[in-house]
Structure 1
C-alpha cells in the first residue's frame, strides 16, 4: 500500500511571513520520509471540516509549483481540483507545466466540485450539478486531447477549442495520471472507468458497493478493473508519541483487504513535523507489503 499526505491547513504560528519556509520544510520532510504523494486541496476558502472560511488557504497550483522545488520523488497533485475553478484548456496547460518542471511527477486530481460558497464569493461560475458533470467530462476529454500528439480542434458539450496546441508536452507517459474523485455510482465512477487511472473514495460501509459499481462500469467500458488505482481518503493521525499507530495499521490493513491500494489524507499538526516522522518510521515501512 502507498501512503500520501494532503496539506490542507495553513494556519500556523508565525503567520503568512513564515508560511513559505515552513511549507517547504514540511514538503521536504514528507518526501524524504517516503510518502508517495504530496497533495493540496483545491479550495479558495478554508472548508468547515478544517476551520472557518477566513483561515489561510493557498491557491493550489501555485503551491504545487513551490512544492516541486522542495521535493524530488513524491507525486504532486490536488485532492481534488474543482472543475469550475479553471477553464479546461488552462488546467491542461497548468498540469503540463507542473509535470515538466517537477520532472514528470504531476497527477491530475479532479472532480465536479461542491463548495458553492467559495465560487459565489469570488465570482466564479458554479453551474447546477448536472452541468458540472458535463464540464467534467469535457475537461477530461480536452486534457487527453492536449496530452496527445495532435493539435486539432476540440468540440465538447460546453468547451470548443480551435487548436489544442500544448508545447511542451508533459514528461509523464502516456500523460500525467488522472484521478477522478467522488463517490457517485452513476456518473463519477463511470468517468473513472472511461478516462482515469485512479479513483479517490471515502472509507465507510458503502465502500465495497462503490468498488463493485466501479467494476461494473469497467466491464461496460471494456476496461480492466485492475488497471485502475483504488485510493481512499484517510486522516493520518499517529497521536502523541505514536500512540495511535497500531490503530492506523489495523485500519489500513482492512482497507487493503477491500482492494484499496493507496491512501492519501491530512496529517493533524503537520507543521510540528513530529507526526510526519512518526508515520515515516512506523507506518510507511509496515504497509509496503500490504
Structure 2
C-alpha cells in the first residue's frame, strides 16, 4: 500500500508571506519520508469542512508547477480537477506541461465538480448535474486523444476542437495516469472502468459495495478490474506523540484487505510537518508491507 498527502489548508501561521517557504519545506519532507503522491484541491475558495470561503486558497495548477520545481520523485496531481472549470484542450495542455516539467510525475485527477458557490462567485461554469457528467466524459475523451498520435478534430455535444494538437507530448506514455474521483454508481464508476487508471472512493461502510459495482462495470466493458488502482481519501492524524498510530495501521490493513492500494491523507495542514515525520517513521514502513 502507498500513502499520499493532500494539501488543502493554506491558512498557515505566517500567512501568505510564508507560502513559498512552507510549501517547499512540506513538499520536500513528504518526499523524503516516502510519500508517493502530493495533491492540492482544485478549488478557488476554501471548502466548508476545512474553513470559511475567505480563508486562503491557491490555484491548483500554478501550485503544482511550483511543487514540481522543488521536488524530484513525488507524483503530483489535483485531487480532483473540476472538469467544467477549464476547456478540455487547455486542461490537457496544463497536465502535459506539468508532466514535462516534472520529468514524468503528473497525474490527471478529475471529477464532475460540485462547488456551486465558488463557481457562481467567480463566474466559473457550473451547468446542471447531467451536463457536468457529459462534459466530464468528453473531457476524458479529448485528453486521451490529445495524448495519442491523433491530432484530428474532435466533435462532441459540448466541445469542438478543430485540431487536437499537443506538442510537446507527455513524458509518460501513452499518457499521464488518470484518476477519477467519486462513487456515483451509474456514471462515475462506469467512466472509471472505461477511461481511468485509478478511482478514488470515500472511506465509508459502502466502500466494499462500490468496489463490487466497479467490478461489474469492468466485466460489462471488458476491462480488467485489477488494472485499476483503488484509492481512498481519509484523515491520517497520528495524534500527540503518535498515540493514534496503532489504530490507523489497523484500519489501513482492513482497507488493504479490500484491495485498496493507495490511501490519501486529506486536509493536512501544511505547517504541521511533525505529522509527516511520524507518518514517515511509523506508518509508511508498515504499510509498505501490506
Shorter-chain TM range is over 0.9
The aligned runs of 1:1-290 (5 Å cut-off) are 1-266=1-266, 268-290=268-290
* Structure 1 gaps, min length 5: none
SS at match of 1:76: strand
Q: 2: CA distance between counterparts of 1:20 and 1:98?
A: 18
Q: Deviations over 1:235-272 (max 9, x none)?
A: 11010111111011011001111111101122544413
Q: 2: CA distance between counterparts of 1:245 and 1:172?
A: 35
Instruction: Verify the 8 A CA contact 1:154 1:160 in the aligned structure 2.
Output: yes
Q: Deviations over 1:81-127 (max 9, x none)?
A: 11111111100000000000000000000000100000000001100
Q: TM-score if structure 2 supplies the norm length?
A: 0.99
Instruction: Verify the 8 A CA contact 1:269 1:275 in the aligned structure 2.
Output: no
Instruction: Verify the 8 A CA contact 1:237 1:267 in the aligned structure 2.
Output: no
Instruction: Verify the 8 A CA contact 1:34 1:280 in the aligned structure 2.
Output: yes
Q: 2: CA distance between counterparts of 1:83 and 1:151?
A: 21
SS at match of 1:8: strand
Aligned structure 1 segments of 4 or more residues deviating by more than 3 angstroms:
267-270
Q: 2: CA distance between counterparts of 1:157 and 1:220?
A: 25
Superposition deviation, residue 234 in structure 1: 1.2
Change (3 A) 1:187 1:248: same
Instruction: Verify the 8 A CA contact 2:39 2:77 in the aligned structure 1.
Output: yes
Instruction: Verify the 8 A CA contact 1:236 1:267 in the aligned structure 2.
Output: no
Greater relative CO, 1 or 2 (CA 8 Å, sep 6+)? 2
Q: 2: CA distance between counterparts of 1:156 and 1:196?
A: 20
Q: Deviations over 1:63-92 (max 9, x none)?
A: 000000111111100110111111111000
Change (3 A) 1:81 1:269: closer
Q: 2: CA distance between counterparts of 1:175 and 1:168?
A: 12
SS at match of 1:274: helix
Q: 1: CA distance between counterparts of 2:128 and 2:50?
A: 25
Q: 2: CA distance between counterparts of 1:135 and 1:67?
A: 28
Q: Deviations over 1:187-224 (max 9, x none)?
A: 00000000000000001111111000000000011100
Q: 2: CA distance between counterparts of 1:229 and 1:105?
A: 16
* Structure 2 gaps, min length 5: none
Q: 2: CA distance between counterparts of 1:164 and 1:269?
A: 39
Instruction: Verify the 8 A CA contact 1:107 1:177 in the aligned structure 2.
Output: yes
Q: 2: CA distance between counterparts of 1:227 and 1:26?
A: 31
